[in-house]
């Protein structure tokens, strides 16, 4: 029975993503001396697929229909607005890494980020 619920959840998730991904809103980019930032606003119908207690890996947010160039990381959760995903990447990322940044062999060892609100 659990596999039925799991497969139904996966099916519903895929249908919702197909239905609502066109409604994902991307902010203009903004920056400080070190980072480039942007926020992505998901349609409220997709919020139920966002983990409430942790940051998402790139494959997870891309699976929700978020489309961005390379280098972005989900770095902060703003509890009052779980439908707003906060992203950052190294300033001038595309100039520094035109072929994409080499994969980190020490994945997740010192990932910063957290919950706010």
- Assign 40 a pLDDT band (cuts: 50, 70, 90): very high
- The CATH number covering residue 28 comes to 3.30.170.10
Residue 55 lies in a domain: yes
Global pTM reads: 0.81
Distance CA 9, CA 111 (A): 29
pLDDT tens profile 50-92: 998 999 999 999 999 999 999 999 999 998 999 999 999 999 9
Residue 69 lies in a domain: yes
Residue 87 lies in a domain: yes
Residue 30 lies in a domain: yes
Residue 107 lies in a domain: no
Distance CA 76, CA 104 (A): 20
Task: Specify whether the CB–CB gap between 68 and 56 falls below 8 A.
Answer: no
Phi, psi values for residue 22, rounded to 5°: -65, -15
Domain count, the chain: 1
Residue 9 lies in a domain: yes
Task: Specify whether the CB–CB gap between 50 and 38 falls below 8 A.
Answer: no
Supply the range of the domain harboring residue 46. 2-102
Residue 64 lies in a domain: yes
Distance CA 6, CA 20 (A): 21
């Amino acid at each position: 029975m659990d596999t039925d619920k799991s497969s139904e959840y996966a099916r519903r998730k895929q249908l919702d993503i197909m239905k609502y991904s066109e409604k994902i809103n991307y902010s203009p980019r903004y920056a400080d001396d070190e980072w480039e930032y942007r926020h992505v606003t998901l349609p409220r119908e997709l919020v139920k697929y966002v983990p409430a207690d942790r940051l998402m890996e790139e494959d997870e947010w891309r699976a929700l229909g978020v489309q961005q160039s390379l280098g972005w990381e989900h770095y902060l959760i703003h509890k009052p607005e779980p439908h707003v995903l906060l992203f950052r990447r190294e300033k001038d990322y595309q100039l520094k890494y035109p072929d994409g940044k080499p994969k980190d062999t020490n994945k997740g060892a010192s990932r910063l980020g957290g919950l706010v609100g």
